[in-house]
Structure 1
Amino acid sequence: MKGFLLAGTRSGIGKTTVAMGLMASFENVSPFKVGPDYIDPSFHEFVTGNRSYNLDLFLMGEEGVKESFYSHHKGISIVEGVMGLYDGLGNSLENYSSAHLSKVLSLPVILVVDAIGKSTSVAAEVLGYKMLDPEVNIAGVIINRVSSEKLYNMLKEAIESYTGIKCLGYLKKDESLNIGSRHLGLLQADEVGDLREKIEHLKNELEKTINLDEIYKIANFQEKPRKNIFEKYKNKYKGIKIGVAKDRAFSFYYRDNLEFLEKMGIEVINFSPIRDKKIPDVDLLYFGGGYPETYGKELSENREFIQSLIEFHKNGGFIFGECGGFMYLTEGIETLDGKFYPMTKLIDATVKMGKSLQITRFGYVDVEYENVRGKAHEFHYSRIDKDGEMEKMYTLKKLDGREWKCGYKNKNLLGGYPHLHFYGSIDILEKILEGVKNGIHKKTS
Structure 2
Amino acid sequence: MPRCPALMISAPASGQGKTSLTAAIAAQARRQGQRVRVFKTGPDYLDPMVLERASGAPVYQLDLFMGGLAHCQTLLAQAASEADLILVEGVMGLYDGKPSSADLAAAFGLPVLAVLDASAMAQTFAALATGLARYRSDVRVVGVVANRVGSDAHARMVAEGLPPDLPLVAAVRRQPELSLPERHLGLVQALELPGLEAQLQAWADAWEAGCALGQGLAAALAPVDFHAPARVDEGQPLAGRRIAVARDACFSFIYPANLDCLRSLGAELRLFSPLAGEPLPACDALWLPGGYPELHAETLAAHPSFFADLRRHHAAGKPLLAECGGLLVLMEQLIDAEGKTWPLAGLLPGTARMQTRLSALGLQAIDWPEGALRGHTFHYSTLETPLQPMARASNPNGGKACESLYQAGSLRASYLHHYFPSNAPAVARFLRG
The residue correspondences of 1:270-419 to structure 2 (distance < 5 A) are: 270-358=271-359, 361-370=360-369, 372-385=371-384, 387-388=385-386, 390-398=387-395, 399-400=397-398, 404=402, 406-419=404-417
CA distance in 1, matches of 2:331, 2:265: 30
CA distance in 1, matches of 2:370, 2:197: 48
CA distance in 1, matches of 2:403, 2:143: 45
2:97 — aligned with what?
88
Residue 404 (structure 1) shift: 5.0
2:123 — aligned with what?
120
Question: Structure 1 stretch 105-114 or stretch 148-157: which is displaced more?
Answer: 148-157
- Check 1:142–1:217 CA distance in 2 against 1; reply closer, same or farther (3 A cut): closer
1:227 — aligned with what?
229
2:63 — aligned with what?
56
Aligned length: 420
The residue correspondences of 1:14-163 to structure 2 (distance < 5 A) are: 14-27=17-30, 28-73=35-80, 74-89=83-98, 96-160=99-163
What SS class does the counterpart of residue 332 from structure 2 fall into?
strand
Counterpart code for 1:185: V
CA distance in 2, matches of 1:289, 1:48: 24
Alignment root-mean-square deviation, CA: 2.1
Q: Does the 8 Å CA contact 1:277/1:304 hold for their aligned counterparts?
A: no
CA distance in 2, matches of 1:17, 1:330: 37
TM-score, L = length of structure 1: 0.89
* 1:192 to 2:189 alignment: no
What SS class does the counterpart of residue 397 from structure 1 fall into?
coil
Q: What do the CA deviations read for 1:313-372 (whole angstroms, capped 9, x no partner)?
A: 1111110000001111111211111111111111122100111110xx311122122273
CA distance in 1, matches of 2:107, 2:11: 18
The residue correspondences of 1:171-186 to structure 2 (distance < 5 A) are: 171-181=172-182, 184-186=187-189
Residue 76 (structure 1) shift: 0.8
What SS class does the counterpart of residue 222 from structure 1 fall into?
strand
Residue 226 (structure 1) shift: 4.0
CA distance in 1, matches of 2:217, 2:346: 54
Counterpart code for 1:76: L
1:432 — aligned with what?
430
2:261 — aligned with what?
260
Residue 271 (structure 1) shift: 1.1
1:443 — aligned with what?
none
Q: Does the 8 Å CA contact 1:347/1:408 hold for their aligned counterparts?
A: no
- Check 1:324–1:401 CA distance in 2 against 1; reply closer, same or farther (3 A cut): closer
What SS class does the counterpart of residue 188 from structure 2 fall into?
coil
CA distance in 2, matches of 1:401, 1:17: 29
Residue 213 (structure 1) shift: 8.3
Q: What do the CA deviations read for 1:238-268 (whole angstroms, capped 9, x no partner)?
A: 1111100001110101110101111111111
Q: Does the 8 Å CA contact 1:392/1:405 hold for their aligned counterparts?
A: no
Q: What do the CA deviations read for 1:159-197 (whole angstroms, capped 9, x no partner)?
A: 135xx31111110122123334279334346x313x233
Residue 118 (structure 1) shift: 2.3
CA distance in 1, matches of 2:407, 2:172: 51
* 1:5 to 2:8 alignment: yes
What SS class does the counterpart of residue 58 from structure 1 fall into?
coil
Identity %: 28
Q: Any unmatched runs of 5+ in structure 2? A: none
TM-score, L = length of structure 2: 0.91
Q: What do the CA deviations read for 1:395-444 (whole angstroms, capped 9, x no partner)?
A: 211232758561111111001100011122335414413xx2xx4xxxxx
What SS class does the counterpart of residue 187 from structure 2 fall into?
coil
Residue 86 (structure 1) shift: 0.6
CA distance in 2, matches of 1:165, 1:213: 11
Counterpart code for 1:308: D
What SS class does the counterpart of residue 111 from structure 1 fall into?
strand
- Check 1:155–1:187 CA distance in 2 against 1; reply closer, same or farther (3 A cut): closer
